[in-house]
């Protein structure tokens, strides 16, 4: 194993402290653990290198709210409102039980 690879794995273990106990519980051997730590480092590097615009979160939230609002409007216009079966059954049973009392 080269010196660069060895220090890379050591630095990754320090940053990814949650991964080492998980690998030990899973019974991963040394080679597999080294590969998984390398993958974790690459993923962290990719995630940190993505530049996110300042207003991206607000635009995303606004788009999601607009989509949900449009979805709720389309559902309410396309389907007739009908009570669930258990409410209709309850109304029927109330009628049956009060019918005998009115006579």
Element (H, E) at 58: helix 56-78
Secondary structure of residue 98 in the 3-state scheme? helix
User: Is 23 part of a structural domain of the chain?
Assistant: yes
User: Is 63 part of a structural domain of the chain?
Assistant: no
Please name the residue that has the structure tokens 């597999």: 32
User: Is 95 part of a structural domain of the chain?
Assistant: no
Is the Cβ–Cβ distance between 38 and 11 less than 8 Å?
no
User: Is 77 part of a structural domain of the chain?
Assistant: no
Residue span of the structural domain in which 18 resides: 1-50
- Give, in order, the Cα–Cα distances in Å from 40 to each of 13, 26, 58, 82, 99: 10, 16, 29, 51, 71
Is the Cβ–Cβ distance between 16 and 37 less than 8 Å?
yes
User: Is 44 part of a structural domain of the chain?
Assistant: yes
User: Is 29 part of a structural domain of the chain?
Assistant: yes
The model carries a pTM of 0.34
Instruction: Look up residue 86 and give its DSSP letter.
Output: H
User: Is 25 part of a structural domain of the chain?
Assistant: yes
Instruction: Give pLDDT tens digits for 32-59.
Output: 777 877 788 788 778 777 787 889 899 9
Q: Please tell me which of 9-18, 23-32, 51-60, 87-96 the model is most confident about, judged by mean pLDDT.
A: 51-60
Count of domains observed in the chain: 1
User: Is 99 part of a structural domain of the chain?
Assistant: no
Is the Cβ–Cβ distance between 37 and 66 less than 8 Å?
no
């Amino acid at each position: 194993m080269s010196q660069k690879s060895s220090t890379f794995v050591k630095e990754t273990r320090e940053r990814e402290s949650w991964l080492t106990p998980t690998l030990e519980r899973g019974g991963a051997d040394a080679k597999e653990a080294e590969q998984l730590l390398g993958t974790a480092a690459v993923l962290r590097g990719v995630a940190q290198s993505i530049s996110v615009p300042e207003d991206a979160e607000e635009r995303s939230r606004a788009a999601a709210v607009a989509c949900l609002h449009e979805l709720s409007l389309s559902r309410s216009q396309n389907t007739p409102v009908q009570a669930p079966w258990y409410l209709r059954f309850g109304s029927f049973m109330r009628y049956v039980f009060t019918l005998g009392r009115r006579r």
